[in-house]
């Protein structure tokens, strides 16, 4: 890994916010999914959550332009399982919804561990999701339409969270745990070796302070490949 690549990855890891996330409830249009993940990466979200009951929806490239390689995706079969996982991390659950109980999205304290629920494109947040949320919010609008595209709404809320967190100094100290930092350093700095490890079922070795692989002789022996194997990496 080049020094420039190492510096760029470390700069990203320094800003990651492991206690800020979005949870996409059956958002299924590829361009929306990709745009939401791209925004999440841009504001330092480490992991996003998605509820896909049929397990057929997948995150692909497109407008994400590689962001999916840096943002971890956790899938859930239903909203109950998703919220349970978020609650176990101590997160407040915020849902976007046009209702009498909703408050302006800027009134929320996003410096707290926060998960933002975003609903499906056509129908929005489900009733079950709203019942599980701590607070529903609205994005004030004065035009003829009453809602924004889900990816646009996500961007507005995440950048408000970023603004609050920056003012609170939450981007000044690395908070992502070492294991996750090592995973991203290895996968991002040594992608070919990471692919070999996955193919062979080998654990990732550590990446040292100079961005080089710090592995035992035994690991290097196991990683050896013949020409056919190397060519297979490009398949």
Annotated binding site for S-adenosyl-L-methionine: 96, 139, 148
Q: How far is residue 48's CA from residue 145's CA, in Å, rounded to a whole number? A: 28
Give the residue numbers of the binding site. Answer: 96, 139, 148
The 3-class secondary structure across 74-111, one letter per residue, is EEECCHHHHHHHHHHCCCEEEEECCCCCCEEHHHCCCC
Cα(156)–Cα(39) distance, integer angstroms? 10
- List all residues 6 or more positions away from 51 whose beta carbon is below 8 Å from its beta carbon: 23, 24, 25, 26, 75, 76, 77, 78, 79, 82
Closest by alpha carbon to 50, among 108, 135, 120?
Answer: 120
């Amino acid at each position: 890994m080049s020094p420039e690549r190492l510096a760029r990855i470390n700069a990203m890891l320094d800003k990651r916010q492991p206690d800020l996330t979005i949870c996409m409830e059956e958002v299924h249009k590829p361009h929306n999914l990709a745009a939401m993940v791209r925004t999440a990466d841009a504001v330092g979200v480490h992991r996003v959550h998605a509820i896909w009951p049929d397990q057929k929806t997948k995150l692909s490239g497109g407008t994400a332009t590689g962001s999916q390689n840096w943002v971890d995706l956790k899938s859930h079969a239903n909203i109950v399982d998703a919220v349970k996982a978020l609650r176990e991390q101590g997160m407040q659950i915020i849902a976007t919804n046009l209702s009498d109980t909703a408050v302006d999205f800027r009134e929320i304290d996003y410096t707290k561990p926060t998960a933002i629920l975003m609903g499906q494109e056509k129908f929005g947040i489900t009733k079950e999701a709203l019942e599980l949320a701590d607070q529903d919010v609205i994005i004030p609008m004065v035009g003829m339409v009453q809602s924004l595209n889900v990816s646009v709404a996500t961007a507005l809320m995440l950048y408000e969270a970023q603004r609050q967190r920056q003012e609170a100094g939450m981007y000044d100290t690395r908070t992502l745990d070492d294991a996750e930092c090592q995973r991203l350093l290895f996968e991002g700095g040594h992608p070919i070796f990471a692919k070999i490890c996955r193919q062979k079922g080998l654990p990732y070795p550590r990446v040292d302070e100079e961005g080089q692989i710090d592995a035992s002789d035994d690991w290097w022996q196991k990683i050896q490949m013949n020409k056919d194997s190397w060519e297979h990496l490009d398949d």
